[in-house]
Amino acid sequence: MNSPTVSLESPDQPEIIALIEALDAYQIPLYPAESHHGIDIKALASANTGFAVARSSDGQAVACGALVVHPTYAELKRMFTQPASRGQGLAGRILAVLEEEARRRGCMRVMLETGYLQHEALSFYERNGYQRRGPFGDYQDDPNSVFMEKLLPL
């Protein structure tokens, strides 16, 4: 039996779109509309973005995450693991692929925005070296948002 794989792929695939829709279905009820900072499939497929997918041993897409590269930093977006596939280390493997992609693209700082109610995500990022910070880029201060960053080692 093969183990799960993680690789960079195009997000414009029906099963990837279904993963992102599952993420939205989870997040949308948690926060008011003005606190949603998702990114659509067209933007996820742009040249300044890397998109990682974890596939189960039978080839099904079960987790994903994106990296959007800006001039002075990279931003994590759309990190999600299907509930049935959690606890297998897939998010950590996706994060490692995205951080390596950031380094490859010349970014030594990775930032993110997540919601204050997403305790598992906050713990995950803290365990992986991310520290809280203020808003960045076009984000405004928002009581529903937590902003984090990590400086990548050379």
What CATH number does the domain containing 117 carry? 3.40.630.30
pLDDT digits (tens, 9 = 90+) for 42-93: 889 899 999 999 999 999 999 999 999 999 999 999 999 999 999 999 999 9
What CA–CA distance (Å, rounded) separates 29 from 112? Answer: 20
Q: Tokens in use for 83?
A: 């509930």
Q: What residues contact residue 147 under an 8 Å CB cut-off, 6+ apart?
A: 111, 112, 113, 132, 133, 134, 135, 136, 139
User: Residue 132: which domain range?
Assistant: 5-151
Per-residue pLDDT, 41: 86
* Residue whose token pair is 């008011």: 32
Q: Tokens in use for 116?
A: 């204050």
Task: Name the domain count of the chain.
Answer: 1
Q: What is the pTM of this model?
A: 0.94
What CA–CA distance (Å, rounded) separates 94 from 64? Answer: 7
